[in-house]
Amino acid sequence: MIERAGDVIPKIVKVTQKLSKGNFTAPKICPSCNAKIIKEDLEQVAYRCVNPSCPKQLERGLLHFSSRGAMDIEGLGEAVVIQLLGRGLIKNFGDIYRLKEQDLLGLELFAQKKAQKLLNAIEESKKQSLSRLIYALGIANIGEKAASVLAKHFGSMDAVSNANESQLISIHEIGPVTATCVVGFFAQPQARSLIEDLRKLGLNMKQPKSQVSNKLEGKKFVFTGEIEGISRDQAGEMVKVLGGEVVSSVSKKTDYVVAGENPGSKYQTAMKLGVVILNEKQFKEILND
C-alpha cells in the first residue's frame, strides 16, 4: 500500500501479504553509482544516495534547475541533458552557461537553428528572479514557496547564503528543518563556489528592490539586554534587511527599544522619553508581521 506523502514521493505504508510475493526491501545501494543509500530520519519518506557526485543525482538536479518553475530553460529537457552529460559537456549548473553552438551541433537532431534557440533560452534564463534561482539550486526542503519567502525576506543571494539558523527560524514561514537545510547547503564549499561561478556567469542574484520588504524603513532601533537565541549582530541584521536602522543610544528619535533579558540603562532612558519598548516576543512579531 502506497500513499502520497511529502509532496510527490510515494510512501510505502504496508506490505499486503496476500498480494505480494515475498517482502519489499528498500534498496541498500544506489542503482546509479553504487554508493550507500540511507534514510535520513524516520519521519522522512525518502531514501537518499549519499554520493554528492552521483551521476543520476546530477542529471535530476540539472533537469530540476532548467525546469519550468525554476530557471525555465526551454529545450534543455531530459534527452538533451543526458547527451550533454554523456559527452562530458556539463558537469555542474555553471557549465550550462558555458555551452557553445559547436557543443550543441554535435548532439542528436541539433541543427544550427535549434542550437541557437537553446543558447538564447539559456542566456535569457540568467535574468530569472532570485526566488527561481534559489529554488533551482535544489536545496532539500526548499520548494517554490520557501524560495520566494527567502528571496523576499533577504533580497539577495549573499544575504540568504550568510543567514544563520536563528535568522531563518525568525521568519514566520520557515521552520527549523528548512532552516537547517538552508544553512547546511550553503556551508558546503562546493555550494559556495557554485554560487560564485553563477555570479561570474552573470546570473541575477538580487530581488528587485520593490519586492523586498522594507516595512521597517526609517525606523530606528536600539537594543538592550540579551535576546534568546539571537546575538545582537544578528538581531541588527534582521532589522537592516527590512530597511530599519540600528542606533546605539536612546533619544526621542528612537522608534523602538528592544529589551531582552537584563536590560541596561537604555531601558530607563526609553521609559523616561516615552519610547516604545518591545519585549523579545513583540520584536519577533514586528519582524514577521
* Type of residue numbered 63: L
| Nearer of residues 31 and 274 to Zn ion, judged by Cβ | 31
| Nearer of residues 30 and 270 to Zn ion, judged by Cβ | 30
Site map 49..68 versus Zn ion, x via CB under 5 A: x-x--x--------------
Residue 245 CB neighbours (<10 A): 15
Taking the C-alpha atoms of residue 152 and residue 137, their distance in angstroms, rounded to an integer, is 17
Site map 167..206 versus Zn ion, x via CB under 5 A: ----------------------------------------
* Type of residue numbered 41: D
Applying CB under 5 A, the site for Zn ion has a residue count of 7
Q: Which residue has the cell 533619544?
A: 251
Site map 116..145 versus Zn ion, x via CB under 5 A: ------------------------------
Provide, rounded to whole angstroms, the least separation between the CB of residue 47 and Zn ion: 11
Give the total residue count for the chain: 289
Taking the C-alpha atoms of residue 219 and residue 207, their distance in angstroms, rounded to an integer, is 22
C-alpha dihedral (244, 250, 252, 254), degrees to nearest 10: 10
Under rule CB under 5 A, residue 30 binds Zn ion: yes
Provide, rounded to whole angstroms, the least separation between the CB of residue 14 and Zn ion: 27
Provide, rounded to whole angstroms, the least separation between the CB of residue 67 and Zn ion: 20
Taking the C-alpha atoms of residue 70 and residue 157, their distance in angstroms, rounded to an integer, is 15
Residue 60 CB neighbours (<10 A): 15
Query: Residues 5, 33, 45, 205: which binds Zn ion (CB under 5 A)?
Result: 33
Residues of this chain that bind Zn ion (CB under 5 A): 30, 32-33, 35, 49, 51, 54
